[in-house]
Amino acid sequence: MVASDLTVRLSEHFGAYIACDPSLLTEATSICTHYAVTPEDLFYKWEAFAINNKLPKSEPLTVDHARELRNIIAATVNANAAASVAGGENAPTAQTPLKPSSALNRGGRIAGDFSAMLGIKSTPNKSAAVGGNAFQTPVRSASTNFNSPFGGPGATPASASAYKPSAGHLPLTGSGSQLAPPAPAGKKTSSRVSLAMATDPKAWNYRYMFEKKGERSQVLDDRIDDYATILRTAYSIDESEEFGDPSLPSQEPIWVVGRICPALPAPESSAGQALRAKAATRAKAGDDEMSAFGLPKLAETGVVLESSRTMGSGNRTPLVFAKGCIVKHTPQDVGTGGAATTLSLFPGQIVLCRGINAGADKFSISEICFPPPLPLAVHTVDEALDHSYSPNKLNGSSLNIVAASGPFTSDDDLKFAPWHRLMDQLESGGLPCDPSTDKRRGVPDTLILTGPFLSSQHPLLPFSTQTPSDLFARHFSTRLQTLLEKFPSTMVVLIPSTYDILNIHSAYPQPSFAKEDAVGSMGLPKGHVRCLPNPSVFYVNELVVGVTSADSLGDVKAEEM
């Protein structure tokens, strides 16, 4: 790794300030080169150091901190070397299971995966074999200059990408007894695409019964503070102007940041009985619908703003939209000038509002601003050219992706006729361009399959003479094996559903199919099949793909006001 490349990668993870400090840059570069530590690993060690020493989130890495990190890393290396000598060269070393760090929000960096949003911690896993796991996908590192709280396209650094070995290029592996036969002459035996994930799939192996409510509430609270920083930067709000508490009366308009929530039902009290009676009257008239979660749906008179504990002690304040309220959907939007006739809100949405609490326990909004959109995917020109025109990749042809979602059979039988029709089309050369002609779109480079494959709700499954694993192996694994033998360059991605009977977790989000089951009882072919969690954000070449079996947009739309 040359010095310039190392400097760029250090700047991506720590920020541009590290390149402006020669002493700090020299120290960090020396640590990376002397102890064979990647910039990403150094950044994680700095996060752990900051948490253990209770440093403020806004405190950057300094020369003194870097020197202390050097001492810690040197002690770790020396201890490992001593243990290796004492136990023999082949002695196994203990490894710490990967966990999503709650300190990823430090210095403006925000965790980009759903597990971090829920405060999920992973369960320690068994040590992997030396040969690796053919059913797990390398992780694509996230950029520290990405200030969005979602894992998305912008979480991809410009230099370290899924297309280079440094970002975890996908090796294709297989056991000697299950290797596919040689491909026919003139057909590629390796995939034309590269696949990488934005988060580590191992982090999804989480035991929900050990989850603490305090951890989840803390993460949800922190996200409001994170959004406050993003919105302040996006809408150019001066640092001297602090965000206020909407629950407290004020004489001047103030800026507030909070989460949109529905007003909860009236409490069990004498005063609450009168309110519930009024609500029941409105419900009979059809004016007060209940959501799918048993809470009142958002209505103009039933919206509250939940503040963080830092900015508003976690209070929920009823909102009133003043006449002529200005709506801004992006920082570049000049606003409606009070001419907006509609406003779209949904529970959980975090917004920036300007208004005043005149003392009536309500916050009157005169201006409401929405978060900026996610940044676009980042990749270099060389990467795009390599994948589009390299002879061992696409070689100038278009990228072909086919996606299919279960259930793959009707409730009347377990013959999986729709699934077999799909595979017949793919084995014939791809999906047809036009039903009236024989022209086809070509063999897919990537086949994305989303469950349920074998639904636990299927009425005939309890009466089947075959086990679920046998059914899966007979209908799915066999057809995938045939497809991959005929077209070895196809990459298959399997994502489970909460209804899949073969997945060990039925709660959302859920991990991928277990490796032992996938290569064992389920009979999936190795090499070009990747089992990913639900939901997943992964990269096919420079294309960002987000997949989930849940209808997230439908759920949000159903609760939208």
312-331, pLDDT tens digit by residue? 888 899 999 888 888 888 77
3-state secondary structure 67-96: HHHHHHHHHHHHHHHHHHHHHCCCCCCCCC
Tokens, residue 555: 């759920």
Tokens, residue 33: 């080169």
More confident residue, 128 or 233: 233
pLDDT digits (tens, 9 = 90+) for 1-46: 445 788 888 888 888 888 888 878 888 888 888 888 888 888 888 8
What is the domain-level CATH number for residue 473? 3.60.21.60
- Burial class of 235 by CB neighbour count within 10 A (0 to 12, 13 to 18, 19+): middle
- Would you say residue 520 lies in a domain? yes
- Would you say residue 103 lies in a domain? no
- 423 contacts: CB under 8 Å, gap ≥ 6: 479, 482, 483
More confident residue, 460 or 384: 460
Q: Report in angstroms the alpha-carbon separations of 227 from 230, 264, 347.
A: 5, 24, 16
Q: Domain count of the chain?
A: 3
Edge to edge, the sheet with strand 536-540 lists 195-197, 536-540, 543-547
Tokens, residue 358: 């005149």
Band (pLDDT 50/70/90 cuts) for residue 499 is: very high
Local structure of 348: helix, strand or coil: coil
* Mean of the per-residue pLDDT values of the chain: 75
Residue 176 has pLDDT above 50, yes or no: no
> 340 and 229: one domain?
yes
Name the nearest CA neighbour of 515 among 504, 499, 501, 500: 504
> 270 and 412: one domain?
no
Residue 455 has pLDDT above 70, yes or no: yes
- Would you say residue 133 lies in a domain? no
Residue 136 has pLDDT above 70, yes or no: no
Q: Measured between alpha carbons, how far is 517 from 513 in angstroms, rounded to an integer?
A: 7
Cα-only R_g, the chain? 27
- Predicted local confidence at residue 67, as pLDDT: 85
Summarize the confidence of residues 158-170 as an average pLDDT: 36
> 230 and 321: one domain?
yes
Residue 353 has pLDDT above 90, yes or no: yes
- Predicted local confidence at residue 474, as pLDDT: 94
Name the nearest CA neighbour of 442 among 399, 480, 405, 390: 399
**How, if at all, do strands 543-547 and 536-540 pair?**
antiparallel
Domain endpoint, select from 53, 73, 94: 94
Q: Measured between alpha carbons, how far is 466 from 482 in angstroms, rounded to an integer?
A: 22
Edge to edge, the sheet with strand 401-405 lists 401-405, 446-450, 491-495, 529-531
Local structure of 531: helix, strand or coil: strand
> 2 and 80: one domain?
yes
Query: Is residue 33 a contact partner of residue 27, using CB atoms and an 8 Å limit?
Result: no
- Would you say residue 281 lies in a domain? yes
> 57 and 188: one domain?
no
β-bridge mates for residue 53, sequence order: none
Question: H helices within 437-545, ranges in order?
Answer: 468-472, 478-486, 515-519
- Burial class of 142 by CB neighbour count within 10 A (0 to 12, 13 to 18, 19+): buried
pLDDT > 90 fraction of the chain, expressed in percent and rounded: 25
Distance of alpha carbon 306 from the chain centroid? 24
pLDDT digits (tens, 9 = 90+) for 280-303: 555 554 444 555 555 678 877 889
Place of tokens 């710490």: 96
Query: Is residue 115 a contact partner of residue 199, using CB atoms and an 8 Å limit?
Result: yes
Query: Is residue 46 a contact partner of residue 61, using CB atoms and an 8 Å limit?
Result: yes
pLDDT digits (tens, 9 = 90+) for 201-233: 677 777 777 778 888 888 899 999 999 999 999
Buried-exposed string 296-307: b where 16+ CB fall within 10 A, e elsewhere = bbbeeebbbbbb
Distance of alpha carbon 55 from the chain centroid? 27
Residue 113 has pLDDT above 60, yes or no: no
- Predicted local confidence at residue 156, as pLDDT: 40
- 482 contacts: CB under 8 Å, gap ≥ 6: 423, 427
More confident residue, 170 or 213: 213
Please provide the size of the chain in residues.
561
- Would you say residue 137 lies in a domain? no
Least-confidence region, from 216-225, 351-360, 378-387, 393-402 = 378-387
- Would you say residue 1 lies in a domain? yes
Q: Measured between alpha carbons, how far is 127 from 14 in angstroms, rounded to an integer?
A: 30
β-bridge mates for residue 534, sequence order: 510
Phi, psi (rounded to 5 degrees) for 126: -70, 150
> 456 and 535: one domain?
yes
Tokens, residue 499: 């209804």
- Predicted local confidence at residue 408, as pLDDT: 94
Q: Report in angstroms the alpha-carbon separations of 118 from 111, 112, 173, 218.
A: 11, 11, 34, 9
Query: Is residue 477 a contact partner of residue 523, using CB atoms and an 8 Å limit?
Result: yes
Least-confidence region, from 8-17, 497-506, 524-533 = 8-17
State yes or no: cis peptide before 452, omega within 30 of 0: yes
Band (pLDDT 50/70/90 cuts) for residue 86 is: low
> 440 and 359: one domain?
no
Which range marks the domain in which residue 515 is found? 172-193+399-551
Name the nearest CA neighbour of 498 among 541, 539, 469, 457: 457
- Longest distance between any two alpha carbons in the chain, whole Å: 82
Summarize the confidence of residues 92-112 as an average pLDDT: 37
Place of tokens 């290797």: 179
Domain endpoint, select from 73, 94, 115: 94
> 410 and 520: one domain?
yes
pLDDT digits (tens, 9 = 90+) for 428-439: 888 888 777 778
Q: How many separate helices (H) and strands (E) can be counted in the chain?
A: 14, 12
Q: Measured between alpha carbons, how far is 392 from 303 in angstroms, rounded to an integer?
A: 56
Least-confidence region, from 230-234, 261-265, 505-509 = 261-265
> 220 and 267: one domain?
yes
- Would you say residue 561 lies in a domain? no
Domain endpoint, select from 369, 391, 409: 369
Query: Is residue 492 a contact partner of residue 528, using CB atoms and an 8 Å limit?
Result: yes
Name the nearest CA neighbour of 357 among 310, 309, 307, 295: 307
Tokens, residue 318: 């009823």
> 275 and 340: one domain?
yes
> 346 and 233: one domain?
yes
- Which helix (H) or strand (E) segment is 403 a member of? strand 401-405
Cα angle value 132/137/143 (rounded, 5°): 125
pLDDT digits (tens, 9 = 90+) for 404-452: 998 999 999 999 999 999 999 999 888 888 777 778 888 899 999 998 9
- Would you say residue 30 lies in a domain? yes
- Predicted local confidence at residue 260, as pLDDT: 92
State yes or no: cis peptide before 407, omega within 30 of 0: yes
> 449 and 309: one domain?
no
